[in-house]
A = this chain, B = another copy of it.
Amino acid sequence: MRWTQTFIFTLRQDPGDAEVVSHRLMARACFISKVAAGIYTYLPLGWRSLRKLEAIVREEMEAAGSTELQMPAVQPAELWQESERWFKYGTELLRIKDRHDRDFCFGPTHEEVITDVVRRSVTSYRQLPVNLFQIQTKFRDEIRPRFGLMRGREFIMKDAYSFHASAGSLDEAYRAFERAYRRVFERCGLSYTTVEADTGNIGGSESHEFMVLASTGEDAIISCPDCGYGANVEKASTGELPPAPPWTGARPAAPEAVHTPEMKSVEEVADFLGVAPSHLIKTMVFETDQEFVVALVRGDREVNEVKLKNALGCTHLQLATPEKIEKVTGGPMGFSGPVGLTGSRILADPTVMALEVAATGANRVDTHLVGVVPGRDFQPAEACDLTLARAGDPCPRCPGTLAEKRGIEVGHIFKLGIKYSKPMGCNYLDAEGAENPMIMGCYGLGVGRTLAAAVEQNHDDKGIIWPLPLAPYEVVLVLLNADRPEVVEAAERLYSDLRAAGVDVLLDDRADRPGVKFNDMDLVGFPVRLVVGSKGVQAGEAELSLRRDGVKRSVPLADAIAEVGRVLEELRAETAPRS
């Protein structure tokens, strides 16, 4: 392809609303263009990269035994009512009324539709397992869409679904997808990790996330370098946490009120009382659809809201507002504590109950209590793990110490079980003629998101550094001095030879100044660059370099094609899948 015949118009300025590097660079380099909040056009460069990724995903899905189909974007409410998600999904589900005032939604996921497809056709264990996938446009009406393709409203996803007559058969498919996902990210040339994950809105018994590692990632990943344990921080367990140091404050026989004027933070209070932050009981008030809940963790730790949600078995949970805290506890925010608190359910982390003596809020303005003895002065409804894991915590599986990395979730696989097949009557007859709900798995991979994650992981201050498999073009051939016929001739000959050799090459045939061209090459991030200019042609040479190191070397024009081929082969070898 020639630059002047495609559609590449780079921007000098970052778009005003770009908060993350992938959004900034993909917009400037003419990969995407914003249409509305969270809604983008894939411009030709972006679409070319996306289709390369799509081809890798498709091949690996087929190799994993999945067959492609295409379900509609617009889904009837009736199916979502059968699974009850119509009532539970909330405002992220883009609901639509058609001209006859019938309810539909723009599908954010397709469990209901695929379950309907399968229950119409499959009735016997002899027809199982069934394993289907699609690559499709979905919509999730995020309250604050941002980060470009990373968290868009309209987005392209690969979603696969499998149906089984036994848990063992599901396990086989699950392992095949796990391997297929590893191969996808390896073939894309991305650093990634697999972690245990929470099953969230989708539901089910087991689930793993695939994270592309990037310092800018929005997810925290907890992992153990010794045993390989890894989990999303939301899901991460720890070994037994070390106890708080001995209590050094007063030890009154009953809790005693202390005046703590305007001291709201753990550090201020601990400092004032002369105790460690771990001696404080952090008291957080949450609200679910049904009730107020008070969660207690040690002052030096944070509450893991997902653990809390799972302990409560609720789908919606949020921090109570200051007004509601006052209503629930009788005191202002910052001075809450469990002593004497009635009328709401209290859940405490075991590390709180293990404190010998502690301090906490008195549910009264500018007042804390000291000498609080958990179990004596208050009794929670439940003691359960509520503490957010962090680097330095002991590993739950081995004597090692946990570390923390940042990552971007690009894939998520679930063992769904019968969560959808049961309410929707997606049953099969077994060999004995008994009817059972099919056992299901589902497997998502964010296609647009993986592209953005690749940019988050691979860039420098000049622009994108595409891994070879995702680059819109593998090689850019830059023609300098387009006014000199002998240079044009040399460039055209190279272009035609490269194409004849099957190289995925873009010829930058613009008449622009070299500075403009080089800036564009760095911004767009073509992996291999071959430059042909007036001086080089006189010397019978072109200049070859890789985007990732920028090291330039001259190659004789006569060897340029072979040299480019050799470089590409080396780069390709780096992304051979290990899984």
Contact = CB atoms under 8 A, between A and B. Distances in A.
Contacts of A555: none
Contact of A36 (B1, B5, B104): B104
A518 interface: no
Interface string A116-154: 110011100001001010000101010100000000011
Interface stretch (A38-46, A221-229, A320-328, A400-408): A38-46
B99 A141 contact: yes
Given A137-B137, A141-B99, A41 B70 contact: yes
A154 B72 contact: yes
**Residue of A9, A72, A143 with most chain B CB atoms under a 10 A cut-off:** A72
A106 B74 contact: yes
A96 B98 contact: no
Given A9-B122, A68-B47, A122-B9, A33 B117 contact: yes
Contact of A127 (B9, B51, B127): B9
A153 B117 contact: no
A501 interface: no
A117 B43 contact: yes
Contacts of A122: 9
Contact of A35 (B5, B47, B116, B130): B116
B76 A36 contact: yes
Contacts of A21: none
A342 interface: no
Interface string A183-204: 0000000000000000000000
A145 to B, nearest CB: 10
A44 B73 contact: no
Interface in A101-116: 104, 106, 113, 116
Interface string A289-304: 0000000000000000
Contacts of A75: 35-36, 39
Interface string A15-36: 0000000000000001001011
A35 B67 contact: no
Given A33-B120, A74-B106, A104-B36, A113 B5 contact: no
A311 interface: no
Interface in A58-99: 65, 67-76, 79, 91-92, 94, 96, 98-99
Contacts of A70: 41-42, 47, 50
Contacts of A9: 121-122, 127
A51 B106 CA distance: 23
A122 B44 CA distance: 15
Number of copies: 2
A14 to B, nearest CB: 15
Interface residues of A, number: 55
A40 B72 contact: yes
Contacts of A47: 68-70
Contacts of A99: 91-92, 94, 141, 143
Contact of A41 (B33, B71, B91, B127): B71
Interface in A310-346: none
Contacts of A98: 94, 141, 153
B7 A67 contact: yes
A113 B41 contact: yes
A6 interface: yes
30 contacts: A7-B132, A9-B122, A33-B117, A33-B121, A35-B71, A35-B75, A35-B76, A36-B74, A36-B75, A36-B76, A39-B72, A39-B74, A39-B75, A41-B70, A42-B69, A42-B70, A43-B69, A43-B117, A44-B67, A44-B68, A46-B69, A47-B69, A73-B73, A73-B106, A73-B154, A74-B106, A94-B99, A98-B153, A99-B141, A106-B106
Nearest to A11: B121
Contacts of A7: 67, 69, 121, 130, 132
Contacts of A30: 121
Nearest to A45: B69
Contacts of A48: 68
A5 B65 contact: yes
Nearest to A42: B70
Nearest to A41: B71
A104 B38 CA distance: 13
Given A39-B72, A41-B69, 11 more contacts: A7-B69, A7-B132, A35-B113, A36-B76, A41-B70, A42-B71, A44-B132, A50-B70, A73-B139, A91-B99, A92-B99
7 closest A-B pairs by CB = A9-B121, A42-B70, A36-B76, A91-B99, A44-B67, A39-B72, A41-B71
A96 B73 CA distance: 14
Contacts of A154: 72-74
